[in-house]
Structure 1
Amino acid sequence: MFRAVLVDDESYDLEGLRRLIPWNELGIEVVCSENRPLAALHYIDNHEIDLLITDIKMPVISGIDLSRKAIERNPGLKTVFISGYQDFQYAKQALDLKAHGYILKPVDDDELVGVLRGAVEALEQERIPKAKAELAGTIASFPFIHNDILQHLLEGNLEPATLHAFLQLYPLDLHFESACCALVEVDDMLQRIGQGPEKVGMELDQLIAKIGSYIAETGIGRWCRVNRSQIGLICTAEPASVEQRLQALVEHVRESGAFTVTASYGKPVTSLEELADSFAQAKTFMNGKMFVGKNRVIPPSLIKPGITKDVKDLSVVLEAMFGAMAGYKLLHICDCIDELFEVAALFEHPVKVYQFSIHIATRLEAYLGTLNETFESLLGWGIHQTDIIHSLETVEDIKRWLRNTLFQISEILFMKKQHKNRRLMEHIDVYVRERLADNLTLREIANHFAYSPNHLGVLFKEYAGESFNEYLVRLRMEKAIELLGQHQYKIYEVADRVGYKNIAYFSRQFRDYYNITAADYRKQS
């Protein structure tokens, strides 16, 4: 992924850039988006970046000056300028800086995507010879590239041709006659969140580094960090010794600190293309931790056929439940909880029901991490908050607790999303009310606020509960009622002041809306 910084002193333009461009599809990660140019400059001074997308005319420091300083820090930087001014002097300065693109507002999404694709292609062409010279055939000393390519291998989300071309330049020296994939997960993450995100994050970084060093020293294989609490591993040991070597890793972590880990592994592979299947198996078996326990190795043989079905079903239902939570679909959350606890009904001992519930909560906390949230940030949970699960006496009590928790999180996530859009909608409302007499369209509004019409239409419907056209008609009818009460205005003048140039169309619209004609309403007022 190439790292990009977005800068625009207009907050709505910045938000439009951040939300409407398919950054991930382009292979770009937005590492900083700022409406304060000096704050962006501070970030650039302290971080390596690949792309700068900036407005040209800004207070304090212009986009041109910002670009000059950024290029001093990152000589290979690609810059895309966005300007509301058709001024040759701006374009000339951009050309002097060898800018990769110069786009006028209102921004055309397709035009910007095309420019960014070209910038990414140029960066990729420059990266290969540069990396080849620096790496001299190996990626071991570059953790970022090393981690990225291994994760792509494990997840299976790279085109075969792209993957093989990369591996020709940077061979991983994998021996597929004796390889399989494993997953190492830090235990009890849920119980650690009360220590504070920053502290937990620092401790995890240290632990992951120690595990990585141990893997390198013992020659188990190649590893990468999958997320903040999991490591993916391509084991190159003999199949018969994989479990033994993973067990040694588990014991090493247990003996060296306050953390413990659980490991699982998938089937042996014979080719590059089979790595993703083996890793998917390891992830499925890791879901069986709630059945067989933690702080151990979970081999395929330990997951019995009946449990395997439950584990696979569990993964599907959890994914659906978390998706419903993020999408504010409360009824679907209830359905998923009922489905989950159909599995719990088969447990022979209450302890396993509690383990099952803790497992769900742990998976929920991991999912929140993908949204850059935690239980602490959303609910203010402390370290002992989940102890409440052990005080619940029945499955119905646990289901009720889980349902309330998911409802709270779903509501908070929804309100956060609404809050982001509230200021935009307030500005749109002011803009429309001041121009009711004009021929307003959704496209014109979208262009003014630097959004695509389709996207703004969706945002408007989600926020206001009505389409933009319904909203516009409502405002015009409300204003018409107000003006009709002021008898100095003729009806055709009222129509003109609320944006209707055709008196017949206004009269029909008024009658349809209020079930009375404008003339009859005036007589009654």
Structure 2
Amino acid sequence: MYKAVLVDDENYDLEGLRQLIPWNELGIEVVCSENRSLAALSYIDQHPIDILVTDIKMPVLTGLELSRKALDRNPNLKTIFISGYQDFEYAKEALNLKADGYLLKPVDDDEIVELLRKVVTEIEATRKKDDEQSRFTESFAFVKNDFLQHLLEGRINQDALPAFLARYPLDVPVGQAIAVVIELDDVLWKNKQAPDAGQSELQIAARTITEYIDNHRLGSWFAISPSQFAFVYSKEPSQIEETLEELHAFVSDRTGFTLTSSYGEPVEFPEGIARSYVQAKELIGNKMFIGKNRVIPPRLARLRIVKDAKDLNAILDEMFIGVANYELVKICDCMDDLFDNVRSFEHPVKVYSFSIHIASKLEAYLNTVNETYESLLGWGFEHLDVIRQFETVEDIKSWLRKTLFEISERLFVKKQSKSRRLIEPIERFIQDHLAEEITLREIANKFSYSANHMGFLFKEQTGESFNEYLVRNRMEKARILLQVPTLKIYEVADHVGYKSLAYFSRLFKEHYGITPGDYRKQS
């Protein structure tokens, strides 16, 4: 159904148009009928329509003015004018607006029906032509992109190449050309984090890339995959890195993605372009080692920095000691040493295998202290599949380091909690027996520890030696008892385990800077 708007300031004429014309039979739906031209314009501003039927002479906004504004918004709009005035000037201006019909009031029903049929036929013909053109354009674009992919992959016969290039020109300057490969970063990871939104965000980012390439005439392109694209660079070769950096900035500013791009050496076009493309593909494959969110030029293909391999088992043992003792710096140093070995790998698959091997060794170590990934982090070993979703060595290294930090902290907290549970009953016993003679050895024997271990436990948990802890608690209780006026000072001393009043007074003054008697006077 085509959509029509009717406008006439005479309500009788407007209702006649709406009721007496067989709109449905004509394939037309009257979506708005108004006696105020401004209200009609407001509707047209907010809704797509195909036909405007309007009176010419109306207050505030004439039909001619309404048509002019509507045509500005939709140049394909079909317009029919109706007027009660046989005025040549109106008719002439209507024709200047490319009116599709001009009728005089009172309107003859057969005449307007015939005119509307003619308008519908014209709309159908225009749409059919547009559809055919659109299908041809899409088909041409598909074949051109397919040809470009075959050209870059070196799968087109050299004898047939001139005919293909004549039919599907690639807008490549005479002389040298460069193949470029672009890849969106962290696609797997982002899709795992937000699976519902991931696909739509990927499509937006892909469209942003291809529209930028087209709008800036960077060259003909094709999609290698939903997240990877290739094109033949058609600008000045010396400016390629600057151009790609600008593309990176444009995409990252408008989407949630960053880009990594690579390009091959300049070559003669078309005979050498496949060689440049192979080089660009190899370079983008090295993103694992070189890094993401950057431009990878051909010169990096010749760089290979490999340190002397170290004993992996020795490094792992040292790293696990760091994990056990909550030594984060040691963990970082060992992680650096481990991943220095990665520089010698030739393929990303080896990096993933190596990283999972580290995680497996960590699981084995945790078992020796009666822990697992499940007990510490709440996830099973299968969670390590997340490693395969990272795209660079630095991403994997960062994730492993963060995991080790978290495990080390959980082990530390558990260790502290365990020691705390051990010392709490000892502290309660001491508080209940402050009036008695208490020694470290006696406490250790009672709770089945060695004296050395008991001394270490106190120092670790309280920051004080056993004697310091005992004196501090006795002095704190003495201070409270001195506030009870019925107790003599020697009785207070006896209640906190001191038979010698002089010794008690000296310790109290050392602790609080005042004698027990003076403290009582002040309290």
**TM-score w.r.t. length of structure 1:** 0.38
Q: Structure 2 length normalisation: TM-score?
A: 0.38
More contact order relative to length (CA 8 Å, sep ≥ 6): 1
Largest Rg, 1 or 2: 2
